[in-house]
Structures are given as C-alpha cells and as structure tokens.
Amino acid sequence: MAASTSATAAVSFSLPSYPRRGLRRLRRRPSLRAASTAAPPSPDLSIQLSPRPSPRSSPPVVPSLARDRADDLQAESRAMTRAAAATVYTPELLASRYGSQPFQVALRAAEVLSKLGAFGLTLLLDQQRGESSSSAKRRARAVELRTILTRLGPTFVKIGQGLSTRPDLCPTEYLEELSELQDSLPTFPDEEAFACIEWELGFPLDSMYSAMSPSPIAAASLGQVYKARLKYSEQLVAVKVQRPGIEDAIGRDFYLLRGLGFLINKYVDIITTDAVALIDEFARRVFQELNYVQEGQNARRFKKLYADKQDILVPDIFWDYTSAKVLTMEWIEGVKLNQQAAIEGQGLKVLDLVNIGIQCSLRQLLEYGYFHADPHPGNILATPEGKLAFLDFGMMSETPEDARVAIIGHVVHMVNRDYEAMARDYYALDFLKPEVDVSPIVPALKNFFDDALDSTVSELNFKTIVDGLGAVLYQYPFNVPAYYALILRSLTVLEGLALYADPNFKVLAASYPYFAKRLLTDPNPYLRDALIELLFKDEKFRWNRLENLLVQGRQDREFVAKDALQPVLKLLLGPDGENLRVLVVKEAVRVTEAITFGTLIGSYNAAPEFLKPLISNGNPAGPFKISDVEREQMLELRDTVLRIWGLLRSSDTFDPSLLQPIVQVLQEREARVFGSRIAGGVSQRLAARLLQQLLRIPPAPVPGSS
C-alpha cells in the first residue's frame, strides 16, 4: 500500500483515543514477531509521537537484521492460522448461508431489481423506438448504468469494473463508461477499524504501533488504509482494514445474482455466455480479495517473479501484523502514474516509467503467466528513485501456457493480415467451441483491420485493436475467458497512461524489445518462427522496427548489445535458424545494393553541374536506370541503416570489441557456408544491376532540342 506525495500540506498524526468497550474479550493470540527493512519518513507527513502506556504486555520482536527466510515462513504460517476461518466461495456456501434469510434477501432483491429493472425497461423502450442503435443513446444509457451500479454498492461496483473488460458482453460505449467506475466509498468509523485490528491481531493498538493516522489515507469498496509506524522498528507501514460486514453484503448480492443468472441462461437468448458460470468465477475472485493473507501471498509471489529487475519495486509484507481482515505492508513513497506534473517535477519521465510497466506486463502475461489484473493509476506508483512500484495484489490472474504462445501467434497473424489464421486462433485461445464455424468471422476481421491498418499493426493504438475486436466479439458467439479479459484491461490501462503523456505513443511498437529478448532466449521453435515473422518479415518496416528496438533498448537498463550478440549468432547459425538465415541473406543483398547505389547517387548529386551531363552521358534522368520510387526506397534504406549504425556507436554500451565474437564465429564451417550464401546473393544482385545499366535503352530525344 502507498500514497501519493502530491499533497502539499503537512499532516500530523498520533494514536487517537477510541472506545475500549467491547474490546476486553479480545482473543489472545500467539506472540507476535515482526520484521522489515527501514524506510525513510514520509516527506509530506510530520509524525508526532506521544508515549502511551500499554494496558497489556507488548508483543516481543526480533530485530529485522536477524530475520531469515525461516523466520519469515513461520510468521506467514501464523498469519495463515489467523486466516484459517476465512470464507472460500462456493455456490453451496451461499445457498446454506442466505437460503434461510428470506426477509433480508427479499429486501435487497427489491432494491436491486427496482433499479436494474427500471434501467432494463428504458433499454426496451429504446429498442422499440429504434434508438438502441444510436451511439449517443447508448452512451447516455451507459452513464446511467454506471451511476446505478455505484449506488448499489461494492458488489455492483466490482461487477461493473468486471464488465468493463468484457467486449463479448458489452458494446464499446458501455466498456468505456464502466471503465471509469471508481470504487471509492465513504469511510467507516475509525473506532471500528481500530477494534478490528486489535481483534484480528490479538494485541492493543498501542503495543503494535507508535503512531497511526487519525483517519484513512485511502478508502475503497472493500476496506480502507491507514498510515502507521511500527513500534518496535519505527518503520512506516500501510495498514489495510476490511470494511465491517462486507463479506455478508457481498455474499447476499452474489446469492441474488446467481438466481438472476439462472433466469438469464433460460430466457435471454441474446446472451450466449453462461451467466451462472460467469458470476461464480467473479464471486470466487472477489472472495479471494476479502482474504488479505491471500493478497499478501500474491504480493510475495509477484515479487519473487518480477522484482528481480532493478526498475520494479514490490512492498514487503509484515506477516505478524496481517490476518484475513488486516494487511500490513511496507509504506512506499510515490506519485500516481497519471500525475505527470508531479512525476516530471522529480526529474522523471512518464513515458520511461510506462515503458518499464509495459516490459514488466509482457513478462507477466507471456512469460510466467502470473499477472497483476488491476493496474489502475492508484495501484502503480513512480518512486523518487525512478522505480515502478506495484501495489494492491488482491486481483491477480494467470495465463495458461498454451494461451501465451497462442497470443503471440495471434499478434503475428494480425501483422500479416492472415484473417483466417486469426479466426482459427480463437479455438486455441478457448474463445470458441470446436464445433463453431469461424468462416463468417473472417470477413468481419478483414473489414475492421483493412480499414484500420494504413501501414502496420505497430502503428495502431492497442485500444483501437481492442475496440475493433470487441465489436467482432460482441456480434458472434464468443466466450472470452476471464484471464484474457483481464489482459485486455491491463494493457489498455497502461496504454491510456502513456497516451495521456504522449498522444502518439504506440504500445505495440514499445513491445518490440520484449519480443526481441524472447526471440533470443525461448527454446520453442514455433514461437521463435512467429517472433521472426512479427519483428522482421515485413520488408517495408523491418529496419524501422530494428531502429525502434535500439531506441527502446537504450531505455532498458538491462539492454547490453554485447550480451545479445552471442545468442543472435547461436540462433542464426543453429539448426533452427534457417528462416532467420533466409531473411538475413535477403537483407544483406538489399542493404549492400542500397549503400552502393545510394553512395553513387549521392556522389552524382554532389558533383558540379557542368560535370553531370558528362557523367550521365546526356541522360537528364541521371546515370542510373532506376525508377524514382526505387531510388527513394534505396536512399531511405541507406539512411535508416546509417542511423542504426549511429545509434549503436552512440550507445553507452557500445564497444568495438563486441564485434570480436563475429570474427571468431566466421572461422566455423557453418559461418563460412552462410557467408558464401550472402556473398553469392550480393554478387548476383550487383551483376544484374550492372547489366541493367549497360543494356540501358538511350532516352528518347526531347522535342525541340538540337
């Protein structure tokens, strides 16, 4: 947990007094032990510490430096014991818990059905009047729905946020409006929060914290967050406390929604998705969010996978101060990623931070498959050191291994405009059942992408792709898996942050460095071939992509050209590198020709005017039989190659010695064979060009000339 440092006024806080009634029968817990690393005080909060007598003995502590992995595991085990009674969602649980509460359920049902029923009636009237196809009318109804869901409370706010990621269920206007749902709600009384902390952890507040903010620094649908200082170590922490009665309220709502889901499945033909299964899946995720020990374990797993990168920061969890309803995390000072002025005021650049987020997200989605499913601006902070801090690990998801390869393949098919292959990808992605015929989907994909793609997919905004695919998904019998819907949400949010800073930002172009790294390291031959197609198959854009890779790579602190050279050579000369070798031979021929003729054309253009007729033998078009289009293409390629060479030489990591492995590899038989292929291709092309010039037909005389 963390807070933005955008506040300018200083706030002092100390332990407030709160009612002690009802706290005397607190359960006694095992001895608490705590550990952390020291953190600097918050610059925007001056903390006033006042000694307070502890009515009971304080929990024993162990200095943080003495803690090791075994201690941490023991503390986590104690936290799991405290959370042993946390509810795990099952449909049977809802039936047993709320089936015997007909009056309470009926009251809530009346409230929900009256508001949603009235909204449904307006949609029906729109349809009868022929207004349902109007984008403006759908936008107005989407705003109404967002307001209704907010008023219905936390469950429906969560549902609205979930629907904002489902293009198979909602039109574009609804997706955009629901994505703006904010789950911020009025705070609940501090006394109840402090009582919850004492009850859950088994010790008085005074014995655990030397100071705590008198009011929450953040509040959401499921809980609220306080800033505190641990008594034993004086470290700043964030303490998240669950909203009282939230589990019962959410459980009752899902009990109602399951009943509604059965009715939808039976009577509503236009919704092809299994509504009950969708509700069950969503309810499981929400109930997992209610178990803060599970969230702490999510954070630990995320940190193990991704915080090894020096640009990524994940807060530590204090297990001895954590239970099912209380989560204590390291306090992270930072600025929300959508506060551009505050970020730049610290000497940082938003786009650099977004690029870090994109590279990390691609690792999450396509490498390990475990990803942060709720990366909104409040959950991603820019630290003063330029790191990207991920927070709030309640909503996590996983991408199946087969789907990771299929997603990359799907991007490749978009690049190549292979719409039939794109449609077949939906089987592998589990969007469609095997018996569904994809042939009607192909024209819809073609119509969208042929209109949207002026040049290449890399020039598209990700949101444009999502909106276009969403229109297709909404019209056909797709069932978008939960993991994929969350992927769309993650990448769309990141791109939105980038576009806020730079309207010309292209998230797919920024993804190329990650795909290049996967190309060099992934052992899957199918995936390597797909990545080669993605990065280099398009002859018109492959050098622009290489230039983009170098520009993006220079922003990656882990990018070192020398380290990348060996795997490139290994892949190029290895048994699985034939596709890449074909591309390299073809490009070597094109580049040699472009540099040779580009240099000759440049020399001719720089020659004195009185010499040009002699050099061109009186040909006003110049000495070379080359069309204007071909001439421009050659000069453009030559200039691009020279720019790339300049980027390499100006790189901080460039060292001429990095070319030494090439010299060593050239001594191997495979390299000599490959070199002969390049030399043969270049010789044939230059010889053909020479014959073309020698056999050139003289130009027709210009009328009126002597």
As annotated, the active-site residues are 374
- Locate 118 and state its tokens: 């009235």
Q: Which helix (H) or strand (E) holds 194?
A: helix 190-201
Give the number of residues written for the chain.
Answer: 706
User: CB-based burial of residue 124 (10 Å sphere; 0-12 exposed, 13-18 middle, 19+ buried)?
Assistant: exposed
Angle at 15 between CA 11 and CA 21, to 5 degrees: 140
- Contact in structure between 368 and 326 (CB atoms under 8 Å): no
**Is residue 634 a contact partner of residue 594, using CB atoms and an 8 Å limit?**
yes
CA nearest neighbour of 682 among 579, 597, 592, 580: 592
Q: Report the first-to-last Cα separation within the chain, whole angstroms.
A: 86
Label residue 369 left, alpha or beta by phi (over 0 means left) and psi (-120 to 50 means alpha): left
Strand partners, 549: none
Q: What is the residue-wise DSSP string for 557-571?
A: TT--HHHHHHHHHHH
CB 206 within 8 A of CB 212: no
Closest CA to 318 of 88, 39, 86: 39
Q: Is 187 left (phi over 0), alpha (psi -120 to 50) or beta?
A: beta
CA distance 365 to 357: 12
Token representation of residue 67: 């803690």
The CA distances from residue 460 to 445, 463, 505, 514, 668, in Å, are: 15, 8, 9, 18, 43
Tell me the DSSP string of 43-72.
Answer: TTEEE-------SSPPPP---GGG--HHHH
